[in-house]
């Protein structure tokens, strides 16, 4: 079922009416084809009466599609003030369903937007197979897509922000190469830190691709639409930051033996002992490469590394690029190792 909007100027006319020109600095590439924006809303599985947060609505192509799909409430977060008048035009047409937040998405706690809304759909227990009737959707600017997805995956892992309401699905666009990395299987060239970070806490699926020619102005690259459904139980049971650090170092030397990357987790005097200990405990061949490690092996490595950090105070703070970092001194710093989340 869809919800009709009163007649509105076509998106292209909207752009001219409000004299909107894409600002390269904010990576603005608009989607003008409503068939594509409707396809995004459909793959996001927006249903009648759902609540949605849209990041970077711009002139409102996806916004219209979400409203048409029958969202009972839509909150849009847009940084560029030139888009506020056309978005207000859309909000008037949508009765009181649409709310505009003229803010930077990177500095917005989207979970707070609905915090005091009594009509909010009910929260659903994280272990329930149902998902809450809520969504986060966005055709993101490429320059903020990576920091934003890391922020959202972190919030998902701590079940905070919008994820305090349950396993809220997330549907975002990325440049195709990043979308492939997010969804990459083992032993592919696209396998990277972000593949592990996305796949341990969620099930990311590239639901379709959009040719660069569908955007105005046309970007240099094609785009992948990725839907993330949070997992009931994360596949790795260490705090997000610990796994992120492990993955960053393990993927530091993608073409080299895994031990070379692992060693960068430890001060020089301990690097061989602790890297060997970890690999042995996890029964991982030290001559394998990072892209050949499965998520179960990352789970074992993360568990072992977490235990090493508990045994060696200050180890989690160690940064191999900082020559001043000495374990005895780091151990005197306040304990930076984040506690584990209850499963």
With CB under 6 A as the contact rule, the residue among 52, 56, 246, 262 that binds ligand SAM is 56
Q: Judged by CB under 6 A, does residue 77 bind ligand SAM? A: yes
How many residues are given for the chain? 343
- By the 8 A CB rule, do 316 and 245 touch? yes
With CB under 6 A as the contact rule, the residue among 33, 80, 229, 276 that binds ligand SAM is 80
> Given its phi and psi angles, is residue 49 left (phi above 0), alpha (psi -120 to 50 degrees) or beta?
left
Dihedral sign (CA 237, 150, 124, 173): negative
- Contact window for ligand SAM (CB under 6 A) among 104-112, 186-194, 231-239, 307-315: 104-112
Q: Judged by CB under 6 A, does residue 144 bind ligand SAM? A: yes
Q: Judged by CB under 6 A, does residue 26 bind ligand SAM? A: yes
Q: If DSSP states are collapsed to H, E and C, what string results for 27-54?
A: CCCEECCHHHHHHHHHHCCCCCCCEEEE
Residue closer to ligand SAM, measured from CB, 106 or 341? 106
Tell me how far, at minimum, the Cβ of 96 lies from ligand SAM, in Å. 22
- By the 8 A CB rule, do 311 and 290 touch? no
- By the 8 A CB rule, do 259 and 286 touch? yes
With CB under 6 A as the contact rule, the residue among 46, 50, 52, 57 that binds ligand SAM is 57
Helices (H), 161-294: 176-182, 193-201, 240-250, 258-263, 271-281
Residue closer to ligand SAM, measured from CB, 175 or 199? 175
With CB under 6 A as the contact rule, the residue among 15, 29, 149, 163 that binds ligand SAM is 29
Tell me how far, at minimum, the Cβ of 82 lies from ligand SAM, in Å. 8
161 sits in which H/E element: none
Q: Judged by CB under 6 A, does residue 295 bind ligand SAM? A: no
Residue closer to ligand SAM, measured from CB, 219 or 286? 219
The residue ranges that bind ligand SAM (CB under 6 A) are 26-31, 55-59, 61-62, 77-80, 83, 104-106, 139, 141, 144
């Amino acid at each position: 079922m869809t919800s009709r909007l009163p007649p509105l100027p076509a998106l292209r006319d909207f752009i001219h009416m409000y004299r909107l020109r894409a600002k390269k600095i904010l990576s603005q590439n608009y989607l003008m084809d409503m068939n594509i924006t409707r396809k995004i809303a459909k793959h996001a599985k927006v249903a009648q009466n759902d609540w949605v947060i849209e990041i970077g609505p711009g002139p409102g192509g996806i916004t219209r599609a979400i409203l048409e799909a029958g969202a009972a409430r839509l909150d849009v977060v847009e940084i560029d003030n030139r888009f506020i008048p056309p978005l207000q035009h859309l909000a008037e047409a949508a009765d009181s369903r649409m709310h505009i937040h003229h803010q930077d998405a990177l500095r917005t706690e989207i979970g707070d937007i609905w915090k005091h809304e009594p009509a909010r759909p009910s929260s659903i227990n994280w272990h329930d197979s149902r998902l809450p009737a809520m969504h986060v959707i966005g055709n993101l600017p490429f320059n903020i897509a990576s920091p934003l997805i890391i922020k959202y995956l972190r919030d998902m892992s701590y079940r905070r922000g919008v994820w305090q309401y349950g396993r809220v699905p997330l549907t975002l666009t990325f440049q195709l190469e990043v979308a492939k990395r997010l969804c990459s299987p083992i032993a592919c060239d696209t396998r990277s830190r972000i593949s592990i970070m996305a796949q341990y806490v969620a099930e990311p699926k590239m639901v379709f691709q959009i040719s660069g020619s569908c955007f105005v102005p046309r970007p240099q690259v094609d785009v992948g639409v990725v839907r993330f459904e949070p997992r009931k139980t994360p596949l790795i049971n260490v705090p997000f930051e610990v796994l992120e650090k492990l993955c960053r170092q393990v993927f530091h030397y993608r073409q080299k033996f895994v031990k070379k990357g692992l060693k960068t987790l430890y001060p020089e005097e301990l690097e061989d002992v602790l890297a060997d200990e970890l690999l042995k405990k996890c029964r991982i061949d030290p001559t394998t490469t990072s892209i050949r490690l499965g998520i179960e092996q990352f789970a074992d490595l993360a568990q072992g590394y977490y235990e090493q950090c508990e045994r060696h105070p200050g180890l989690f703070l160690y940064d191999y690029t900082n020559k001043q970092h000495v374990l005895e001194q780091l151990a005197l710093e306040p304990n930076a190792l984040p506690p584990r989340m209850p499963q």
